[in-house]
Amino acid sequence: MFAHAKDAMIKQLRYLMSEVLKELKSTMKESIVLSLETYGVSQSLPDVSKELWMVTNYYNELKRKTVSPDDDATLRRDSPGQAAAVRP
């Protein structure tokens, strides 16, 4: 009996959480659009498209160059490190 009530409450809580999230997203989007349409605000925002492009390129370049720990043979060895210093 209590398990059934608990399951019903959890189901209702999840539904409520999803509804609150939908409403919050909708309200925030509307608020942002209205705020940016206000004269002066949209005029004062700088164009950062070039900087965004540069950062995206740097990120993608680093992502390509980064070696995963599974691919790097030096990381597979168990080097002694600091833990070896405290072992008796």
pLDDT tens figures, 9-64: 999 999 999 999 999 999 999 998 888 777 666 677 788 899 999 999 999 999 88
**Entry pTM:** 0.42
Structure tokens at 8: 């019903």
Structure tokens at 81: 């490190």
Is the C-alpha dihedral spanning 71, 77, 82, 87 positive or negative?
A: positive
- 15/65: higher pLDDT: 15
Is the C-alpha dihedral spanning 13, 19, 20, 25 positive or negative?
A: positive
